[in-house]
Amino acid sequence: MTSYRILRHITCLIALLLIAGCGGGGAGSASPASIVLTADKTSAVANGTDSINLAAEVRDGTGAPVAGVPVTINLSDGSHLPGSTDGEGRVAFILSRPLLTVATGDTVTVAAECAGIVSNRLEVSFLPPPAGANKVTISPEGDGVFTLQGIDFKDVAGIKVTISYDSATLANPRVEKGGLIAGAMMVSNTTAPGRVVIAAVSTKPLSGSGPIATIYFDRTGTEAGRILSVTVELTDIRLNSAPADVAIPDSATSSTAPAQTGGSQPVSTTSSSPGTPVGTNP
């Protein structure tokens, strides 16, 4: 009888060990023991489209991947990016300039954290766009005529330009769409004296150089018409703000010929096809 009891106890013990070895019939997954952070590069251009791809990989004590655990990317500027590992124990993050509060050109430290375990640290930075990228200029083309030019545009999807002009020397502005935005939808607002607002949206990225628009004014008085200021807002194909370099040449004044009305200048119309003047919109 004693031998029988001993044999039964041994059998039960073996069964318990087998159950434990199989995970206890549905026990929790392995615990994270390490996390490694990698990046495809350590710097990108701060243009709203360039990005740095991060990947965190979580392993348990045996080196096996740990799936379905939360991972957080912590940045030294105070930003946090949450994620969760896939079946291979990996999780990917995309780091772009709008996520950072640090100034362009500064370096930010990045680390991944999972279950209180912190990964290796990486230093990444976003560099200023190349000089001349997304440059906008305005220049006189004749008496009361000014051309708004885009230079070296890179994947621009939206444009808003506000032009302030001397209403004592220029009046009745009419806007004609330029070749650079030929495939875009454009509207203009010229109702406020001394100001012209031009906006364009394109479903395809605008790249390269060319005229954005030509503005025709009636001259008033004998002094040269003057452009006072130009402000530009650009949006990239990801709907992020894109940098713009605005230049107004000192020669941004029209000639001093007597004021003209009508004549060979285009009349106002609501058409927005390429090369056709676009009239005032409320």
Pairing of strands 43-45, 117-127: parallel
29-127: CATH topology is Immunoglobulin-like (2.60.40)
pLDDT in tens, 203-215: 888 888 999 999 9
**The pLDDT value given to residue 13:** 52
Q: What's the rounded Cα separation, in Å, for the pair 218 and 135?
A: 27
Q: Which carries the bigger pLDDT value, residue 257 or residue 161?
A: 161
Considering the chain, tell me which residue range(s) the CATH 2.60.40.10 domain(s) occupy: 29-127
Question: Which pLDDT tens digit goes with each residue over 176-187?
Answer: 999 999 999 999
Q: Per residue in 110-123, pLDDT tens? A: 999 999 999 999 99
Q: By the 8 A CB rule, do 100 and 126 touch?
A: yes
Mean pLDDT in residue range 85-90: 95
* pLDDT per position as a tens digit, 255-279: 433 333 333 333 222 223 333 333 3
pLDDT-derived band at 5 (thresholds 50, 70, 90) equals low
Residue range 247-253: mean pLDDT, rounded:
63
- Residue 74 predicted with pLDDT over 70: yes
The pLDDT tens digits of the residues spanning 125-157 come to: 877 766 657 889 898 888 889 999 998 888 899
Share of the chain above pLDDT 70, in %: 71
Cα–Cα nearest to 220, from 166, 267, 168 = 168
107 band by pLDDT with thresholds 50, 70 and 90: confident
Question: pLDDT, tens digit, for every residue of 185-244?
Answer: 999 999 999 999 999 999 888 888 999 999 999 988 777 788 888 888 898 877 888 777
Residues of the chain with CATH 2.60.40.680: 135-277
Concatenated DSSP letters of 136-179: EEEEEEETTEEEEEEEEEEEEEEEEEEEEE-TTTEEEEEEEE-G
pLDDT of residue 152: 87
Mean residue pLDDT of the chain comes to: 77
pLDDT band (50, 70, 90) for residue 6: low
d(Cα 114, Cα 53) in Å, to the nearest integer? 19
Which pLDDT score is estimated for 131? Answer: 60
Question: Per the structure block, which two tokens stand in for 246?
Answer: 């605005």
Q: What's the CATH number of domain 135-277, 1.20.1260.10, 2.60.40.10, 1.10.10.10, 2.60.40.680?
A: 2.60.40.680
